[in-house]
A and B are shown apart, each in its own frame.
Chain A
Amino acid sequence: MFQPKVKISQAFAGLLCLLLPLSFTWGGTFTVTIKPTNSGTVAWQTTNPTDGGVFSGSGGHFSFTKNQTDVFLTFFPNVGGSIEKVMTDEGDDTAYLTGPNHNMDSWYGPGENSKQVTVTFSGSGPVTSESPTGNFPLTFPSTNPSLTPIIDLTGEYKGVSPFGKPRAYDIIVAQDESGKLIISGTVEGISTNKITKAANTSSLPANTSFLPPYNIGQITTVSTNPTVKIKGSFTGSIDGTNSASVSGSGQAPLVLTPIPMKPDSNVIFGTGSYVAKENGVPIHLLPTTGPIPIVVSKTAAASHIHKAWSISLSITNKVNAKTNKPYIGATASLTRPDGDVITYPVQVVKYSTKTGYKLTLKGGTNTTTHLVDKKSTITITGMMLTKTGAVWHPTAGKLSYQFLGQKGTGDLMLFIE
């Protein structure tokens, strides 16, 4: 019959060793049950043979090859965590721990072909090895062309129309959390008969009236490009005389293509179609369908196309107030290109040494409107971290983002400044 004995591991701090002395040829499966069940994960490691992994849920098992002598099984509990009790199918072996409530506990195990071991943990980190925690700022790198930008177009647009008779325009655009666009403003010489007019028009250009706000379309992501889709119609008068109507639709991917020998400008290629009538007669100011080149100065693009956004991710050790169970909690706030900040409630996350952290941030609250924002979602998968000194640093992962009616995906490391 196997005789257990105590052996103190000197190799690692926070080490629990199961030493299996085998002076004879043997092999088999060692089944480990961890308690409390489903309280987290615990990394384990064996030497002679070298093996390792993570137990989660109710535990797991590992197999030994034959012809081994001693096998050490090591758990890596959290700081503050400890082993409270060890039960095997032969009875209570807690007494063989070097220090029952101490991280330096070790246990010298039996060498049967199969064995059941139940290890009960207690303390601040129930069963797990130290999970990475910390604050992780993630910033969208606006100058990286490989990532799909999320764009906010809210603002004032002033200029002179590039097609037909030059007309000064002054348009205000507002974009909501779904990427839906509404516009309002004035275009020189254009007057709508949809709004009350009066004599006090001195500050407006001649024959010009205020165009009331209308939903005009949306901005969405098409094939990794933010794309504006618009549809609109106008009925009124042009230059105070002719009744006119224009209705049309179009879309333009907001891809700024450089123009050779014109370094101050880019070009956007849109496509669209429209029907225009003057006094009831269809007229075409441009080809009615097909690509439309739109030259945009870099200054205008910089002031109107807002695409800077960031996430402040925080992962910390927490304790459930009701059950007193410790857990790892993640929370985040998203600062969108429109300046709104969305905060996400704390959620329980688990770290796997193989797959890292996985978390989905959704249902956050807009701190300015105090409304739940169902349209802003962030997903982080495979977020791996390593520790340098006392600080954890991300080393890998994938970030998917969806807000303002648009979406994108990229390597998490591109968002680390």
Chain B
Amino acid sequence: MNPDQQPSASRQAAPHHWLWRLLGAGALLFCFGGAVILLSMWTESKYPAGDDDATTAAFTDQMRRMVTKPVTVAIGRQIDKIIRARMDHLLFITGITFEEALARFLDERTDLVERGRCAYRLARVGSPTAIAALLKVFRTAPLEQKIFLAQLISSTGNQSVKDWFLPLLNDADESVVCGAIRGLSAMGTDTVTSQLAGLLTDPNRSESVRIEAAAGLGNLGTGAARDALTAAFSTVEEDEVAIQILNSLGRFPFNQVAGWFGEYLAAPDTPADLRVTAVEALAYSSNDAVPFLLGLAGHDSDSDVRASSAWAISLYSLVQNLAPTLTHMAQGESDPDVRRRLYEALLPQANIPAAQLLPLVLAEDDIAARVAGFNAISRAVAQAPTGAVAGTFDKQIVPELVTIATTPNSLNIQLRAVFALLQAPTPAAQDALALIAKTEQAPVATAARSGLRVPTS
């Protein structure tokens, strides 16, 4: 071998060597990235970040918040784009070309729903031609079509149509103003926030417009919107506007409004009915509102507030570790209405302590509380079909539920009695449903028939 050739060979081999290294590194990076993605998806699927029950999580909460959640959100965003495009195609394009959609939209004979779909597509496309067509129709459309189109177009999030809606806030027709508010609140900009805040506090505006403005600020959900709502609350005189402000504030993540609600509910001059409204508004906040609501449900001096708090808790169906606490609260509660709501709050809970609950429920005189309690017991039986309480449920509770469901009574109570039977996977409950299904009262019999399809264990 010519020694002079060796360096030459090495020089020739070097590019391959680097290429392989590069490919190897790329493969490693790809594998690592894929592993992170898969692991993130798995852990977010099993233990979502922000889940209250962190004790069973695979990673620390910090890891989940900093790595797994952002990864899945980023992937989700991309998938979302693809799905949105597909859904847009399925729902709103209906296999026609853009030009055909444009023509149908401009044709006044086209039915409003179809026209709305075309409008949605044009707004999504957002090209100058599409926007010009939308503007042309929007300006000349009859009132009811204008409101319909405004709301539909706004749901696309196309910011370019915002400028059309802002002048509508001064329209003489209240329904147009309210439609524009609903449309604008889906777009969410600072301009919109300040416009809606102005409407909310404008004494020359009608009550319904001010209520809609408060609702719109709740939809926006920004810090500025929250500040506008809290500032307006101290100045509004109309109860209905104040109620809507409370409802809008209740929709914010709890950590953003906790202080405000805490002070408002603790203030001695807060009217009793507005305290109830405030508590029920928090039913639509975030999971971290639950401890606050538990405190009210257990200790507030007003039984209506306690009942409303318990009901609000029942809407947090993803918080499922409250069964012992709620049962203990029911044991110490003197008002049957509050106990009824506490039983309802047990429905989404895991590991309902049926044995502790049973004597309490069987002692209920108030039929609404009793049936609510039966539902909680039934859910507990579904969770532990072989437990000791299942026998009592079949022998004692099932016959009573049949009587309640088949005796002339409040339809609401009758249906809830059927619901209690629907959940319990016991033969006695199935027999009872079969019996009720043969009765003549349509809604009750229908509900029982639907329950007969429940698999028996």
- Which A residues contact B (CB, under 8 angstroms)? 154-156, 163-164, 170, 172, 174-177, 180, 182, 184-186, 195-201, 203-204, 209-210, 212-218, 222-224, 229, 231-233, 235, 243, 245, 247, 249, 257-262, 267, 269, 271, 277, 279-287, 289-293, 295, 338-340, 366, 368-371
By a CB distance below 8 angstroms, the chain B residues around A235 are 318
A293 interface neighbour in B144, B152, B367, B412, Cβ under 8 Å: B152
Q: Which of B72-80, B192-200, B257-265, B355-363 contacts A (4 or more CB under 8 A)?
A: B72-80
By a CB distance below 8 angstroms, the chain A residues around B311 are 180, 215
By a CB distance below 8 angstroms, the chain B residues around A163 are 91
Which partner residue on chain A sits nearest B179 by CB separation?
A269
Q: Which of B18-26, B207-215, B224-232, B394-402 contacts A (4 or more CB under 8 A)?
A: B207-215
| A371 touching B366, Cβ below 8 Å | yes
| B450 touching A186, Cβ below 8 Å | yes
Which partner residue on chain A sits nearest B348 by CB separation?
A214
Instruction: Give min CB distance, B347 to chain A, whole Å.
Output: 6
Asked if B169 lies at the interface with its beta carbon under 8 angstroms from chain A, I say no
Instruction: Point out which of B42, B77, B379, B423 has the most chain A C-beta atoms below 10 A from its C-beta.
Output: B423
Instruction: Give min CB distance, B250 to chain A, whole Å.
Output: 10
Instruction: Give min CB distance, B425 to chain A, whole Å.
Output: 5
By a CB distance below 8 angstroms, the chain A residues around B315 are 215-217, 231-232
Instruction: Point out which of A176, A245, A366 has the most chain B C-beta atoms below 10 A from its C-beta.
Output: A176
Which partner residue on chain A sits nearest B448 by CB separation?
A172
| B455 touching A174, Cβ below 8 Å | no
- Which B residues contact A (CB, under 8 angstroms)? 40-46, 48, 72-73, 75-77, 79-80, 83-84, 87, 91, 109, 111-113, 116, 142, 144-145, 147-148, 151-152, 154-157, 179, 182-183, 185-186, 207-208, 211-212, 215, 219, 240, 244, 247, 251, 280, 283-284, 311, 314-315, 317-318, 344-345, 347-348, 366-368, 375, 379, 382, 385, 408-413, 415-416, 418-419, 422-423, 425, 443, 446-447, 450-457
| A283 touching B112, Cβ below 8 Å | no
A213 interface neighbour in B40, B151, B247, B375, Cβ under 8 Å: B375
Which partner residue on chain A sits nearest B415 by CB separation?
A174
| B456 touching A198, Cβ below 8 Å | yes
B219 interface neighbour in A170, A204, A271, Cβ under 8 Å: A271
**26 A-B pairs, CB-CB below 8 angstroms?**
A154-B412, A154-B443, A155-B443, A182-B416, A184-B419, A196-B457, A200-B456, A203-B452, A210-B422, A212-B422, A215-B344, A222-B215, A224-B208, A258-B144, A259-B112, A259-B113, A260-B142, A261-B111, A267-B113, A271-B182, A277-B44, A281-B72, A283-B83, A284-B83, A286-B87, A369-B367
By a CB distance below 8 angstroms, the chain B residues around A243 are 45
**By DSSP majority rule, is chain A's interface helix, strand, loop, or mixed?**
strand
| B41 touching A269, Cβ below 8 Å | no
| B453 touching A291, Cβ below 8 Å | no
Which partner residue on chain A sits nearest B454 by CB separation?
A210
| B284 touching A249, Cβ below 8 Å | yes
Instruction: Point out which of A209, A247, A290, A369 has the most chain B C-beta atoms below 10 A from its C-beta.
Output: A290
| A282 touching B450, Cβ below 8 Å | no
Which partner residue on chain A sits nearest B153 by CB separation?
A291
Which partner residue on chain B sits nearest A257 by CB separation?
B144
Q: A196-B455, A223-B244, A262-B111 are in contact. Are A283 and B423 (CB under 8 A)?
A: no
| B412 touching A176, Cβ below 8 Å | yes
By a CB distance below 8 angstroms, the chain B residues around A215 are 311, 314-315, 344-345, 347
Instruction: Give min CB distance, A336 to chain B, whole Å.
Output: 10
| A232 touching B155, Cβ below 8 Å | no
Instruction: Give min CB distance, B138 to chain A, whole Å.
Output: 15
In the complex, A210 Cα to B421 Cα: how many Å? 12
In the complex, A277 Cα to B385 Cα: how many Å? 30
In the complex, A362 Cα to B155 Cα: how many Å? 43
By a CB distance below 8 angstroms, the chain B residues around A232 are 315, 317
| B453 touching A184, Cβ below 8 Å | no
| A368 touching B409, Cβ below 8 Å | yes
Instruction: Give min CB distance, B375 to chain A, whole Å.
Output: 7
In the complex, A182 Cα to B423 Cα: how many Å? 14
Instruction: Give min CB distance, B36 to chain A, whole Å.
Output: 13
Which partner residue on chain A sits nearest B444 by CB separation?
A172
By a CB distance below 8 angstroms, the chain B residues around A269 are 148, 151, 179, 182
Q: A249-B251, A280-B45 are in contact. Are A222 and B455 (CB under 8 A)?
A: no
